[in-house]
Amino acid sequence: MEYRKIKDQDKDGDAGGEDIESSRGKAHSVGNVDVERTRWKRKSAVTIALTVLTSSQAILIVWSKRAGKYEYSVTTANFMVETLKCALSLAALARTWRSEGVTEDNRLNTTLDEVIVFPIPAALYLVKNLLQYYIFAYVDAPGYQILKNLNIISTGVLYRIILKKKLSEIQWAAFILLCAGCTTAQLKSNSDHVLQTPFQGWVMAIVMALLSGFAGVYTEAIIKKRPMRNINVQNFWLYVFGMIFNAGAILVQDFDAVMNKGFFHGYSFITVLMIVNHALSGIAVSMVMKYADNIVKVYSTSVAMLLTAVVSVFLFGFNLSLAFFLGSTVVSVAVYLHSAGKLQR
């Protein structure tokens, strides 16, 4: 009898243990589901944000014109973009300081060796951002979104030259498709000119791509040199030098206009929206790379091209030709292949 009682107690104990383990497993499973759901919501939010911001960027620049020209100073607009990004980085840092405290990795005070490397990409972004406004004298909003993808080629080539990273065969094939897609999207059948974008527009697009690619690769090298450093600290110093260089551009290019008409002369509600859009776009890219991945960024870029074209039909009377549709499709495939090739390396 005693043996049976002990055996029955052992069985009860085993059953209780199984119940505990089962409950722990269920709790762990529920926890994983909650984490995945939170990640999915966060990824969806930043993806939608980046798509909307990217697609509306070119539209807002074109829309900010009056009678075909900018009544505001583009140098002051760029200065305000850098200032807003700097303020957003500081706000993110303040939140980190409140939750984690000030540490070696997130403090602002640093050495000259760390800070002195940031003027180079800041200067490159200055020229690239100024060209971004002037290129619209030759390119419409949908065409700009197509040609903007040329920076993928420049980035890939500069990766190979500067960082000594090999490119896969898929990526090289994607580069060829990208060039073909950009050219196809610009074809014009009802004119003596073969391409919609004139030679000056192509030159500016290529220069912008080279500047953007070199600045991006150089910035990545700086950031990865100190991987534990808080990204908002590094962004802060980059944007500070961006403000300095843009202030210099104001003095050189628009000093008389600013002194006579005021810093915010010619600004409108659309101009303010454009500045906010540019600042948030820069932050959104960082958020996507942190909370999502490169594939998400690729899809956002591809969808943004189509959204820009559709919206431009209603706002600017853009002609959505078969050549543009085919070209944008080829560009989307090329961008996806480039990202897929990057993942396979």
pLDDT at 65 over 80: yes
Structure-model confidence comparison of residues 70 and 171, the more confident one: 70
pLDDT by residue (tens digit) across 24-60? 555 455 556 666 677 667 667 777 887 888 888 888 9
Output the pLDDT for position 123: 92
- Predicted model pTM: 0.73
CA distances from 145 to 12, 141, 331 (A): 69, 6, 10
Query: Strand, helix or coil at 164?
Result: coil
DSSP assignment of 21-73 equals HHHHHHHHHHHHHHHHHHHHHHHHHHHHHHHHHHHHHHHHHHHT-BTTB-SS-
Compute the distance between CA of residue 316 and CA of residue 345 in angstroms, rounded to an integer.
42
Output the pLDDT for position 6: 45
Asked if residue 265 lies in contact with residue 146, where contact means CB atoms within 8 angstroms, the answer is no
pLDDT by residue (tens digit) across 143-168? 787 787 777 777 777 777 776 777 77
Which phi and psi angles does 308 have, rounded to 5°?
-60, -45
DSSP H helices, 64-148, are: 74-100, 112-115, 119-134, 141-147
Percentage of residues of the chain with pLDDT beyond 70: 76
- Mean pLDDT estimate for the chain: 78
pLDDT band at 271 (very low <50, low <70, confident <90, very high): very high
Output the pLDDT for position 329: 81
Q: What is the DSSP letter of 136?
A: G
pLDDT band at 264 (very low <50, low <70, confident <90, very high): very high
Output the pLDDT for position 132: 86
pLDDT band at 114 (very low <50, low <70, confident <90, very high): confident
pLDDT at 237 over 50: yes
Amino acid residing at 46: V
Structure-model confidence comparison of residues 270 and 216, the more confident one: 270
Residue 312, C-beta contacts closer than 8 angstroms, at least 6 positions apart: 59, 140, 141, 142, 318
Output the pLDDT for position 36: 67
Compute the distance between CA of residue 59 and CA of residue 75 in angstroms, rounded to an integer.
19
**Tokens 């859009």 — which residue?**
277
pLDDT at 273 over 90: yes
pLDDT band at 20 (very low <50, low <70, confident <90, very high): very low
pLDDT at 279 over 50: yes
Helix H or strand E encompassing 341: helix 322-344
